[in-house]
Structure formats: structure tokens, C-alpha cells
């Protein structure tokens, strides 16, 4: 048996989940298998030898020994409106397992049939969104963004109906946990303080073992405050990482915000092309609540919702409890701003952020927005064109204006002949002149050469689905994945996926992956 699962979450008791078996599928066949991830988790399967067995297990047709599948309960604010009962309507947590470092991971099937929480839904997932989640999460992982991952995509051999009949699939998601802000809200809405305490202890054990107290002793208010601070720190890192690579989550509801700080729920996500903080692609995000540049504000709002849930665990007096968490919410704003500017400085090759860099960064963003320049390409191009020689030229010009050129003439040149862009370039060159090769190295590490661009993802999904139905050939998808897995290295095929869409994705819309 290549997997021995434990069931730590179902052990929390019936308030937390519903026992629920995956619904078997007609004809499971393995489409994608993440061998690297399988190795990390010591899952002793290989796609060459075991494809039939993998398809059986990771469609839910067969269960691993020890697995007691459950559907987890959670609530959530969806686009600002509270829904007290969401829960896994099309997912089954098979159990958890520990990797070689002792870190525990959830193994969850998605698209594996209905549960107590399905409401009107069919519990299923179409092949397109399953492949999309695999591509996007693997790309994000390779980009260095905290994320849930995909272990497998198995076609079910059954149709799912979404306005039309589509091939169905089950995707296996691996996460350090599936605890969401919405999981806390579920118990908070029911005023179930005991379960809130249990959940917090579990989350501390899983994600922040350094905060653990004495075995058997109740959590102190101080521990809860530390827990909140630790969750906040994870979310700051997460959103800063998203902004580094131009990722727009698209549906940052509190049920899609994991306590672990991993990107979860790839339904309507997209990548930004030309820079604009208002960029939105999700067809259901009509008020641009989850626009690119709004993501830190929304994460702050989501953290405030988590704070609401934790108050009764800190002090009976809500004002006293509030006074302990409010400074941490302010800290979120400050830490985000600091993390963001350090990240942007790094993208410009600046290792140590200085106060004046804020203006340099904002001016560059302003130029990109005004000229509709591609976000990813702009940084890559800056780095490519950066050389000691160019920088020296500019520096000597600045130190000694060309002979015969009066001070007035050079001021005119600065004001008129040179456009904003040239002026900005000069400021940037001066800023990084002390260590040009260091700047270049830093830029190579922080600016991906390739991202999973929307138009390439969609084209690959279209060809993959067509060829899957004809002959099962997924070589285009696998070539794309091979490039996305090394986004900071120029491979032979990288150039095939670097281009921005010719229409700027003006009419591109994403949908929730149902
Ligand atoms: P999501 O938009 O994927 O974050 O899902 C929001 C809620 O809808 C969650 O409770 C999901 O389990 C549920 N859901 C989404 N799609 C389906 C489906 N096809 N069948 C049942 N429940 C679903
Ligand atoms: Mg969700």
C-alpha cells in the first residue's frame, strides 16, 4: 500500500466535518501525475508502472488503508456577504500524511461527488478547470509563491453538465491544511466556543508548532494573539508574492483564504498583462472587489473577520480582546507596505530599500500604467538591457555635462527632450550604479521570464481537451508545464510562452471553476 493516511481532522469530532465517501466514477484514467510531489510525500507510485492504480485511488473509486473520507464544514463571506454554511460540496478530504521533514499534508479529492454540503451542486468538476488548477498551482509553486499543489488529475469517463456536456475529472489537492478563515467563521456563527478553541489548537499544532503550550492546558489569550499575528504574517507574505508575479486571485472570499497562507482555489484566477492596479478578469467580480491592486485591502478585511472569531477566546470583555487584536490589524497594513516596497525594490535590483525608493518604484508603475506596458516583460527587459557600460555612460553624463553645454541647456534637455521614461531610467541607473552585477542577479531571481499567461493557458487547455478526447495526447500541456516549472531559467522553449497577448486580454473573462 503506497499511502498510509491518518485522519487528524475527522478526529476533531462531528462538529467539524461530515463523513462522506467519494462517489465512484465510470472509467477513471490518469491524465497528470506530479512525480516530484509524490516523491516529496514518499508516495510510492509512478505513472509508468501504476497508472491504473493511481486512477482508481485518485478518482475515489478505491480508498487507501486507514482513510476515513470527510467533507469539511465551513462558512464564508462571499463578495462581502456572509453565508453561514458552505463546506466541501464537491471535495473529500481523504486524510493526512507526513513528509520526510515531519510536516503534515492534507490529501483532498475535488470533483469526487456530492456531500452533505453540496446544496444544488453536482459535486463534480469539469476537466478544463481541473487541468487549469494543476497548471496554475504548479506554476505558482515554481514561481516561489506559497500554494496548495496538485498531485493528480484523473479523467472520470463521465460527463458533467455546465450549459453543455463536458468531460469530468477529479483533481487531487495537497495542502498543509484546508482550514480557512471561513472555518473559524462557521463556529463563530454558531457561538460554538469549544470548537473554536479546538480548531485553534489544531491550527497551531499544524502550522505554528512554535506557539504550542503545555499539553492538555487550555490556550491562553496570549497564545491566541500570537496565533493571529502568525496568520497575518503568512498572509502578508502571500499577497506580496502574488503582486510580485502579477497574480490576481479573483475570488478572495473568506472561505478561499487558508490560514496556512497558501494560495487556494484557482477557479477564476488570472495573470495581469499590462500593469494596472484595477485589473480584473473574473466575470462575477462586477464591483472589482478583487482587483489586482485591491488584494492587500481585501486580505486585511479577511483578517479582520478572523479577528472577530478569535475575540471570545482572548477575553470575555470584547473591548479588552479587541484592544489586543486591533494593533495587529494595523501591523498588517504596515508590514504589507514594507514587504511590498522591499519586494518591488528587489524587482528593480535594489537589495536595501531606502525611503527615496518609494518614489522611484511608484514612478515606474505610473509609467507602465500610462504606457500600458506589460508588467512581467517590463522588468525582464530592464534587466536584459542593464549593463555596467550603459550605467557608466549615464553616470559620467550626470557628473560632467558635455562640453559647451550650459547648465541651462542641460536642464532643458532634462525637461523637454528626454521623456519621463529616460529621466526615470537615469534615476534608476544612478540608484543601482554601486553594484550593477548584484542588481542584475537580484532581478533575475525576482522577475520570472515566464508566467502562466492567460492566453497560453487557455490555448493549451483547448488543445489538451480536444486531443484528450481524440487520442489522449497531452504533450502540449506537458511541454508548457516543463517551461513553467523553471520560470527563472531561459530554456529552449521558454520564448514560446513569453509573449503578451496581442489584444491585451481585453475581452478575457474567467469563471468560478464549477
Ligand atoms: P468555490 O466557488 O469553489 O469556492 O465554492 C464555493 C462553495 O460552493 C463551496 O462550498 C463548494 O464546495 C461549493 N461548490 C462549488 N461547486 C460545486 C459543485 N459542482 N457541486 C457542489 N458544490 C459545489
Ligand atoms: Mg472555494
Question: What backbone phi and psi angles, to 5 degrees, belong to 29?
Answer: -140, 140
Please tell me the pTM assigned to this model.
Answer: 0.96
Q: Which of 312, 347, 382 is the last residue of a domain?
A: 347
How high is the mean pLDDT of the chain? 95
Ligand 1 pocket mutation pick from 71, 77, 88, 89 by most atoms within 8 angstroms of CB: 89
- Pull the grid cell for residue 212: 504550542
514 CA distance to ligand 1 middle (Å): 7
User: Which ligand has the minimum distance to the alpha carbon of residue 160?
Assistant: 1
State whether 136 and 167 are in the same domain: yes
State whether 250 and 302 are in the same domain: yes
Give the residue with greater pLDDT, 410 vs 162: 162
Domain assignment present for residue 408? The answer is no
State whether 101 and 224 are in the same domain: no
| Closest-lying ligand 1 atom to the alpha carbon of residue 124 | 19
> What pLDDT does residue 484 have?
98
Domain assignment present for residue 96? The answer is yes
State whether 164 and 204 are in the same domain: no
| Closest-lying ligand 1 atom to the alpha carbon of residue 91 | 12
State whether 234 and 172 are in the same domain: no
Domain assignment present for residue 496? The answer is no
Residues with CB under 6 A from ligand 1: 86-90, 117-118, 121-124, 255-256, 265, 267, 512, 514
Summarised one tens digit per residue, pLDDT across range 472-510 is 889 999 999 999 999 999 999 999 999 999 999 999 999
Name the catalytic one among 106, 255, 335, 357.
255
Domain assignment present for residue 194? The answer is yes
Give the span between the Cα atoms of 239 and 293, in whole angstroms: 10
256 CA distance to ligand 2 middle (Å): 5
Domain extent, residue 287, equals: 182-211+219-347
- Residue whose entry in the numeric block shows the C-alpha cell 510510492: 44
State whether 158 and 43 are in the same domain: yes
User: Which ligand has the minimum distance to the alpha carbon of residue 84?
Assistant: 1
Summarised one tens digit per residue, pLDDT across range 243-256 is 999 999 999 999 99
Share of the chain above pLDDT 90, in %: 90
Structurally, how many domains does the chain consist of?
2
State whether 157 and 248 are in the same domain: no
Max Cα separation, the chain? Answer: 85
Smallest CA separation from ligand 1 atom 15, residue: 514
89 CA distance to ligand 1 middle (Å): 5
- Pull the grid cell for residue 249: 486571485
**pLDDT at 403 > cutoff 60:** no
State whether 26 and 73 are in the same domain: yes
Smallest CA separation from ligand 1 atom 13, residue: 89
- Pull the grid cell for residue 189: 456563527
State whether 240 and 310 are in the same domain: yes
**pLDDT at 406 > cutoff 70:** no
Helix, strand, coil shares of the chain, percent, nearest 5, are 50, 15, 35
State whether 339 and 196 are in the same domain: yes
| Closest-lying ligand 1 atom to the alpha carbon of residue 160 | 19
145-149, 189-193, 406-410: range with lowest mean pLDDT: 406-410
**pLDDT at 189 > cutoff 60:** yes
State whether 47 and 174 are in the same domain: yes
- Residue 231: alpha-carbon gap to chain centroid: 15
Summarised one tens digit per residue, pLDDT across range 143-175 is 999 999 999 999 999 999 999 999 999 999 999
- Pull the grid cell for residue 274: 499590462
| Averaged pLDDT for residues 300-323 | 98
Summarised one tens digit per residue, pLDDT across range 389-400 is 999 998 888 777
Domain assignment present for residue 477? The answer is no
Going by pLDDT thresholds of 50, 70 and 90, the confidence category of residue 118 is: very high
Per the CB < 8 A criterion, the answer to whether 103 and 211 are in contact is no
Half-sphere exposure of 444 (CA within 13 A, CB side): 12
| Closest-lying ligand 1 atom to the alpha carbon of residue 87 | 10
Per the CB < 8 A criterion, the answer to whether 259 and 176 are in contact is no
Domain assignment present for residue 414? The answer is no
> What pLDDT does residue 417 have?
45
> What pLDDT does residue 407 have?
53
Summarised one tens digit per residue, pLDDT across range 425-480 is 999 999 999 999 999 999 999 999 999 999 999 999 999 999 888 888 899 999 99
The conformation of residue 442, written as its DSSP 8-state character, comes to H
Summarised one tens digit per residue, pLDDT across range 327-365 is 999 999 999 999 999 999 999 999 999 999 999 999 999
Domain assignment present for residue 402? The answer is no
Catalytic residue check, 255 = yes
Per the CB < 8 A criterion, the answer to whether 152 and 111 are in contact is no
Per the CB < 8 A criterion, the answer to whether 442 and 351 are in contact is yes
Domain assignment present for residue 481? The answer is no
Measured between alpha carbons, how far is residue 190 from residues 126, 167, 399 in Å?
A: 34, 39, 69
> What pLDDT does residue 265 have?
97
Ligand 1 pocket mutation pick from 83, 90, 160 by most atoms within 8 angstroms of CB: 90
258 CA distance to ligand 1 middle (Å): 16
Among 16, 73, 74, 77, smallest CA distance to 304 is for 77
| Rg value, the chain, Cα | 25
Give the span between the Cα atoms of 169 and 93, in whole angstroms: 16
Q: Which of 347, 364, 385 is the last residue of a domain?
A: 347
User: Which ligand has the minimum distance to the alpha carbon of residue 89?
Assistant: 1
Amino acid at each position: 500500500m503506497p499511502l498510509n493516511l491518518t485522519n487528524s481532522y475527522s478526529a476533531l469530532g462531528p462538529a467539524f466535518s461530515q463523513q462522506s465517501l467519494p462517489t465512484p466514477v465510470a472509467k477513471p484514467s490518469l491524465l497528470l501525475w506530479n512525480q516530484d510531489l509524490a516523491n516529496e510525500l514518499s508516495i510510492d507510485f509512478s505513472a509508468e508502472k501504476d497508472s491504473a492504480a493511481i486512477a482508481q485511488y485518485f478518482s475515489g473509486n478505491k480508498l487507501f488503508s486507514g482513510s476515513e473520507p470527510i467533507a469539511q464544514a465551513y462558512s464564508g463571506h462571499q463578495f462581502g456577504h456572509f453565508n453561514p454554511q458552505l463546506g466541501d460540496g464537491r471535495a473529500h478530504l481523504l486524510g493526512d500524511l507526513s513528509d520526510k521533514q515531519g510536516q503534515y499534508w492534507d490529501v483532498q479529492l475535488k470533483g469526487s461527488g456530492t456531500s452533505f454540503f453540496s446544496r444544488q451542486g453536482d459535486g463534480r468538476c469539469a476537466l478544463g478547470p481541473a487541468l487549469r488548477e494543476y497548471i496554475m498551482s504548479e506554476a505558482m509553486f515554481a514561481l516561489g509563491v506559497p500554494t496548495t499543489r496538485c498531485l493528480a488529475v484523473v479523467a472520470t469517463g463521465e460527463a458533467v453538465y455546465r450549459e453543455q456536456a463536458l468531460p469530468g475529472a477529479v483533481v487531487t489537492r495537497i495542502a498543509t491544511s484546508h482550514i480557512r478563515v471561513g472555518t473559524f467563521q462557521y463556529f463563530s456563527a454558531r457561538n460554538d466556543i469549544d470548537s473554536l478553541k479546538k480548531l485553534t489548537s489544531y491550527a497551531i499544532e499544524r502550522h505554528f508548532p512554535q506557539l504550542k503550550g503545555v499539553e492538555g492546558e487550555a490556550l491562553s489569550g496570549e497564545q491566541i494573539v500570537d496565533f493571529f499575528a502568525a496568520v497575518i504574517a503568512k498572509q502578508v507574505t502571500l499577497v506580496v508574492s502574488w503582486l510580485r508575479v502579477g497574480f490576481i486571485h479573483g475570488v478572495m472570499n473568506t472561505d478561499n483564504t487558508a490560514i496556512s497562507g497558501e494560495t487556494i482555489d484557482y477557479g477564476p484566477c488570472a495573470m495581469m498583462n499590462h500593469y494596472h492596479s484595477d485589473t480584473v478578469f473574473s466575470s462575477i467580480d462586477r464591483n472589482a472587489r478583487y482587483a489586482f491592486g485591491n488584494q492587500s485591502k481585501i486580505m486585511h478585511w479577511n483578517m479582520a473577520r478572523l479577528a472577530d472569531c478569535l475575540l471570545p477566546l482572548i477575553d470575555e470583555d470584547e473591548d479588552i480582546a479587541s484592544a489586543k487584536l486591533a494593533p495587529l490589524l494595523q501591523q498588517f497594513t504596515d508590514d504589507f507596505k514594507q514587504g511590498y516596497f522591499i519586494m518591488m525594490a528587489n524587482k528593480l535590483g535594489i537589495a536595501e530599500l531606502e525611503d527615496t525608493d518609494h518614489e522611484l518604484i511608484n514612478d515606474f508603475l505610473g509609467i507602465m500604467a500610462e504606457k500600458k506596458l506589460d508588467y512581467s516583460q517590463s522588468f525582464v527587459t530592464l534587466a536584459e538591457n542593464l549593463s555596467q557600460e550603459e550605467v557608466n555612460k549615464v553616470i559620467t553624463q550626470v557628473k560632467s555635462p558635455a562640453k559647451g553645454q550650459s547648465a541651462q541647456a542641460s536642464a532643458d534637455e532634462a525637461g523637454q527632450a528626454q521623456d519621463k521614461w529616460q529621466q526615470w531610467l537615469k534615476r534608476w541607473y544612478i540608484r543601482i550604479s554601486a553594484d550593477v552585477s548584484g542588481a542584475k542577479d537580484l532581478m533575475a531571481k525576482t522577475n520570472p521570464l515566464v508566467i502562466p499567461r492567460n492566453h497560453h493557458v487557455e490555448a493549451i487547455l483547448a488543445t489538451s481537451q480536444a486531443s484528450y478526447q481524440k487520442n489522449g495526447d497531452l504533450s502540449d500541456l506537458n511541454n508548457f508545464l516543463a517551461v513553467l516549472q523553471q520560470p527563472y531559467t531561459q530554456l529552449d522553449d521558454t520564448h514560446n510562452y513569453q509573449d503578451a497577448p496581442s489584444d491585451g486580454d481585453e475581452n478575457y473573462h474567467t469563471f468560478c471553476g464549477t
